[in-house]
Amino acid sequence: MSTGEKPLLDAAIRSLELNGWDASQINEILLDAHASRSSLYHFYGSREGLLAAATAERYRRLLLQEDTALVTEASDCETTEELLAFVTQQLVRTVTDPDSIKARQSRVAIGADALIHEELREDVAQKQQLFLDAIAEIIVAGQQKGIIRPELNAMAYAVWMHGMLLGRTLTESVFQDTASWLEVAIEATLAPLRPR
């Protein structure tokens, strides 16, 4: 990324966070970035190109907030019970930690934008795939150690688990009893992992 490109991208990300896709104004973004309209067209081709790139980058940054050390920590688990305790801890953190809640809310909003704006779909899908790959990697590592059910499809589980967590984002304003939700979610999340 060139030095002229980054300020535009960062300004567009700030605008998206404050205003959303439809209310983000190019003139405000250009002022914030101290950039010219010709820079916008040179680097991104159009308003939609800039907003698509900014949304994909915003999504990537949100996913990076998920600590990559978690994959290593999960890989260090040597028993089924250690891994199940790790998964439980991460599930609780994801739905109770204020930073995690905010990140989930932003990912859902970006996902909604990707459904509406075709130019955004592929970039968001690519970033999402990297995140799902990391979850699946944890499952495969456990299977290789014999501490997770070997016939479990790691990617299908990763997709289900992530979808369940993002679904919580859509329902937490109407069902605020997080402890009761966790009671069900923990059981549902751990059941497929246990060797039979």
- The tens digit of pLDDT for each residue in 159-184 reads 999 999 989 999 999 999 999 999 99
Q: How far lies 153's CA from each of 17, 19, 41, 188, 196, in Å? A: 36, 39, 44, 16, 15
Alpha helix locations (H) across the chain?
Answer: 5-23, 26-33, 37-44, 47-65, 69-75, 80-96, 98-116, 118-145, 154-171, 178-190
**CB-based contact 107:99 (threshold 8 Å):** no
In which region does residue 152 sit, left (phi positive, over 0), alpha (psi from -120 to 50) or beta (all else)?
beta
pLDDT beyond 70 at 69? no
Per-residue model confidence (pLDDT) at position 148: 95
The pLDDT > 90 percentage for the chain reads 48
Q: How far apart are CA 5 and CA 83, in angstroms?
A: 43
Per-residue model confidence (pLDDT) at position 65: 63
3 band by pLDDT with thresholds 50, 70 and 90: low
**CB-based contact 86:192 (threshold 8 Å):** no
pLDDT beyond 90 at 106? no
Q: Which domains does the chain have, with CATH numbers?
A: 1-45 (1.10.10.60), 57-190 (1.10.357)
Per-residue model confidence (pLDDT) at position 116: 84
Global confidence as pTM = 0.75
pLDDT beyond 70 at 115? yes
